[in-house]
Amino acid sequence: MSAMSALIAEFEQEAATTRRVLERVPADKLAWKPHDKSMSLGKLAQHVATAPAFLSDWAVQDVVKFSPGGPPDPTNTADILAAHDAGATKTKSNLQAIGDANLGKMWEITGPDGTTMMKMPKAALLRTLVMNHTYHHRGQLSVYLRLLNVSVPSIYGPSADEQPPR
């Protein structure tokens, strides 16, 4: 199995897990925050849903110019799930387009003034930002759900809400 095939297989498995978490996001709590410095539940869920496609779009390119901003705040859970599903399709397409041959190719992001903000091989970009960054925020999202007393789905084994029968 090629390196990219393995990465795509991992992404597909993780995207299914991410979708299970996103399905639990209560639409009536999208503005809720656990702390003033935290993202709202809706903003965090939207970030988890859209980050892989947005960041894998970066990896298709060799140089990206950073521009601040992000997707609009979601108004319902269905929009979050639709963004996730479209993003998962886009991410797999981007990964296939990059392929094994380009994993070692350097990637760079520059600031508005042209200075280099980050530079790394595309393999590192994919692993660090597209994959690990998403897992990190998905973990945050599961904590938000717990704090809201929403049933947390299985992520890497049973959750306290989804114990296997004994």
**Predicted local confidence at residue 165, as pLDDT:** 64
**Predicted local confidence at residue 163, as pLDDT:** 75
- Give residue 17's domain range: 3-147
Residue 154 counted as domain residue: no
Residues of the chain with pLDDT under 50: none
Q: What does the alpha-carbon distance between residue 121 and residue 11 come to, in Å, rounded to a whole number?
A: 19
Residue 164 counted as domain residue: no
Rounded to the nearest angstrom, the gap between the alpha carbon of residue 36 and the centroid of all alpha carbons in its chain is 23
Residue 162 counted as domain residue: no
Residue 111 counted as domain residue: yes
Q: What HEC string does 1-57 produce? A: CCHHHHHHHHHHHHHHHHHHHHHCCCHHHCCCCCCCCCCCHHHHHHHHHHHHHHHHH
Residue 163 counted as domain residue: no
Residue 25 counted as domain residue: yes
- At 117-155, the pLDDT tens digits run 999 999 999 999 999 999 999 999 999 999 999 999 999
The enclosing domain of 71 has a CATH number of 1.20.120.450
**Predicted local confidence at residue 123, as pLDDT:** 97
**Predicted local confidence at residue 108, as pLDDT:** 97
Tokens 């094994």: give the residue.
100
**Predicted local confidence at residue 162, as pLDDT:** 85
Residue 133 counted as domain residue: yes
Q: What is the model's pTM? A: 0.93
Residue 157 counted as domain residue: no
Number of domains, the chain: 1
